[in-house]
Structure 1
Amino acid sequence: MPEVGTALPRVRIVDETMREGMQIEDAAIPTARKVELLDALSSTGLRHLVVGSFVSPRWVPQMADVEGVLAGFTPVPGVEYTALALNEKGAERRTRHVPPLTVDSRPRLTVHACDVFVQRNTNRTQAQEIAGWDKAVAAAVESGSTAATVRLGAAFGSNWTGDVAVGDGLALIERMMRAWEDAGIVADTVWLGDPMGWSHPLRMEAYVRGILARWPGVRHLHLHLHDQRGAALVSAWTALRLLPAHMTLTIDAAVGGIGGCPYCGNGRATGMIPTEDLVDLLEEAGIDTGVDRDRLIEVALLAADVVGRPLHGRLPLAGPRPRGARLYPMDMPFVETVEQAAHFRLGRAAYAGAPSPWRTPITSHQRQESS
């Protein structure tokens, strides 16, 4: 496997297909098909799956059957299943499904850099988010917590208010860090969210360098990047290359790149980092994800069938880089269509009948076999 030449941080993949992905898709997708997809995801080697959210079915009807999905799927040992809850009512519903669900009880402070987005998304203002910090800190102190998380949403920019200066974002992180520090709790995790697809490698670099310089005690960076402008994967890669080996980088993704927030203004054009493309990139960098790429490709194709539209991942179209026994036949004919390109998984039948101009077999000193 290729080496990148420097020690890289540990990478943790959180697959959001069933939550972030499904919440923007057709609410009429049958529960049985969601269960089929979740079971397929569980078989890939992915270790962290978000299965849905406990939210109002009036505003997110796609999640109205989350209990049905949980009742129907088959948990796989070693896989962590979580679900989102945004209020006490949702949290109470979620507790009825523990296990198989696990709940992250780590204390956290959250603020969004865009006041408009947070009002659209959670019916709260930025000021109300900040006003709630004291209660969250007090609860953490009372429970004896020693470590915490700070979360900056809309960190890179907003469809409603424009660019977010990295300095302004770091200032908001600073306020949350200080709140934990004053309470004697170490904030060792920083979460950066980008619901509106404003991330860019240079902005990511500025954030990561700023975080590392100001808060050397941070051990974990968590990225939740949407991809409506195509920079999510390269932004995550930028963070990966900048983090030291002792840190952990968590990257949220979804098969086929599905996902989106109905409040961000981009609908299904939003998307996320395709899980299969992320896994392929990491494996090629020498990072063992534990994921079966061939199986993940099949799951991405299943997801496209479930939602009824072509998806955004590249790996299901062209396959992994061929090596060894998987090198392409040297005499294969012209391959022009996506259907023909599926020969990597379907065999020669995928391009049967395609034109071939070579009158004699192609041979090469770089290959022993002729086909």
Structure 2
Amino acid sequence: MSAAGRPTVRIVEEGMREGMQIESADITLDDKLRLLDALGRTGLESINVGSFVSPKWVPQMAQIDELLARFEPVPGVHYFALALNQKGVERRQEYVGTKLAPDSEIGVTSVHLCDVFVKRNTARGQAEELAAIPQRIESAVARGVTEASIRINAAWGSNWLGGFDLAQRMEHLHLQAAAWKAAGIPVTHTWIGDPMSWNTPGAVEETIRAITEELPEITTFHLHLHDGRGTALLSAYQAFRTLGAEHTLVIDSSIGGMGGCPYCGNGRATKMIPTEDLVHLLEGEGVETGVDLAALIEAAHLAEEVVGHELYGHVSKAGPRPGPDALYAMDMPLVETIEQAQHFRLGAGVYDDCPRPWRAPITSPARPENPQEPTP
């Protein structure tokens, strides 16, 4: 998915993992399956189905094995799952090749800039992450990997330690890149995470420009941005505007915007980029996403039904910009509520009782024909 002069864009759907991990543990397996099936039918190419973690600490993922046993993958969709330790890797391996795609063959090293967050989240500190880098590279060399990804998390700031500057980000990226270079493996990817919603468009642009200048061999940029402070979609768009046609930009998003780590201090308010809003934005910028936006909007409403509360997307509420065959009727009545605004997908019946205060039907010489009321 690319537009002229712009990077190729790939979307990774995180609702079943990042979203579900912060929602109620009482959501039924049947409802999770309904949502996963609906997401698979939207045209999304990459879907995270969940994580293999301890049900003691993340009870929302207690049924991950049952979910994978029951769901039927849609051909052509890249399904994957997160595993944070060796036991999780072993559990996940049972489904690789049948329900889940094989693990990437790219070598990975990772460092959190916030020592507090990583201790809260994984019971390991930054010092332990740094100490593990040589072993991880040695293991990658033994597996025969030919390229690597360097990663930083909590990249722009911490709710406990405050903001981090560009020098800190680049220090930890260069440290990892040098270790891979010493092993003879080129670094072609970077992953940048922001679990505590400290991203801003300017800081994201600054970081990406520095990486392209100082580590030009990196051509794939993967952003995992949280939206607790309302800037994630803006920051992702700034990344899109900053990178060139020689780059690939991977953006994590979540249906309805649901998401958040319970260890970051913001709970469900952490949120993510709503997938439907991201697709709508990219399509408006000339990127052919291959996603059926109408189906994605329906999936967003299903997600609200499944989790039992309103989610955070905009396009699912107001509808996409109407095309020439879907312009609103000019003399439609006043619309006030979110329910009435759903006329774009539910039809005119949702505003049957709304007033029309004008004395005559509204017409315009710019639009000689007034299309029929929308139908569901």
TM over 0.5: yes
Post-superposition offset of 1:20:
0.5
2:236 corresponding residue in structure 1: 236
8 Å contact from structure 1 (residues 54, 90) kept in 2: yes
Mapped to 1, the partners of 2:264 and 2:289 lie a distance apart of: 31
1:191 corresponding residue in structure 2: 191
- 1:248 matched to 2:225? The reply is no
8 Å contact from structure 1 (residues 227, 271) kept in 2: yes
Mapped to 2, the partners of 1:68 and 1:188 lie a distance apart of: 36
Structure 1 segments of 4 or more deviating over 3 A? Answer: none
Mapped to 2, the partners of 1:299 and 1:370 lie a distance apart of: 30
Post-superposition offset of 1:105:
3.4
- SS of 1:77's partner is coil
2:90 corresponding residue in structure 1: 92
Question: Cα RMSD (Å) of the superposition?
Answer: 1.1
TM-score by length of structure 2 reads 0.96
Mapped to 2, the partners of 1:308 and 1:361 lie a distance apart of: 40
8 Å contact from structure 2 (residues 105, 145) kept in 1: no
Within 5 Å, which residues of 2 pair with 1:46-85?
46-85=44-83
Post-superposition offset of 1:78:
0.1
Post-superposition offset of 1:296:
0.4
Mapped to 2, the partners of 1:361 and 1:36 lie a distance apart of: 43
1:310 corresponding residue in structure 2: 310
Mapped to 1, the partners of 2:269 and 2:48 lie a distance apart of: 21
Post-superposition offset of 1:370:
3.2
1:344 corresponding residue in structure 2: 344
- 1:175-206 deviation digits (Å, cap 9, x = unpaired): 01111111111111010000000000110011
8 Å contact from structure 1 (residues 361, 370) kept in 2: no
Q: Which moved more, 1:136-145 or 1:259-268?
A: 136-145
1:31 corresponding residue in structure 2: 29
Q: What letter corresponds to residue 85 of structure 1 in structure 2?
A: A
1:15 corresponding residue in structure 2: 13
Mapped to 1, the partners of 2:335 and 2:168 lie a distance apart of: 50
1:217 corresponding residue in structure 2: 217
2:269 corresponding residue in structure 1: 269
Q: What letter corresponds to residue 88 of structure 1 in structure 2?
A: Q
1:296 corresponding residue in structure 2: 296
Q: Which runs of 5+ in 1 are unaligned?
A: none
- 1:126-175 deviation digits (Å, cap 9, x = unpaired): 00000000001111122221100001000010001000112111111010
Aligned residue pairs total 368
Mapped to 1, the partners of 2:199 and 2:53 lie a distance apart of: 27
1:319 corresponding residue in structure 2: 319
Q: Which runs of 5+ in 2 are unaligned?
A: 372-376
Within 5 Å, which residues of 2 pair with 1:92-171?
92-98=90-96, 99-102=98-101, 103-171=103-171
What percent of counterpart residues are identical?
A: 54
- 1:99-148 deviation digits (Å, cap 9, x = unpaired): 21122232100000000001001110100000000001111122221100
- 1:18-76 deviation digits (Å, cap 9, x = unpaired): 00000000001111110110000000000100000000000000000001111121111
Mapped to 2, the partners of 1:243 and 1:325 lie a distance apart of: 34
8 Å contact from structure 2 (residues 149, 189) kept in 1: yes
Post-superposition offset of 1:295:
0.5
- SS of 1:325's partner is coil
Mapped to 2, the partners of 1:15 and 1:175 lie a distance apart of: 30
Mapped to 2, the partners of 1:141 and 1:276 lie a distance apart of: 39
Q: What letter corresponds to residue 369 of structure 2 in structure 1?
A: E
Mapped to 2, the partners of 1:260 and 1:361 lie a distance apart of: 48
TM-score by length of structure 1 reads 0.98
Mapped to 2, the partners of 1:70 and 1:146 lie a distance apart of: 31
1:283 corresponding residue in structure 2: 283
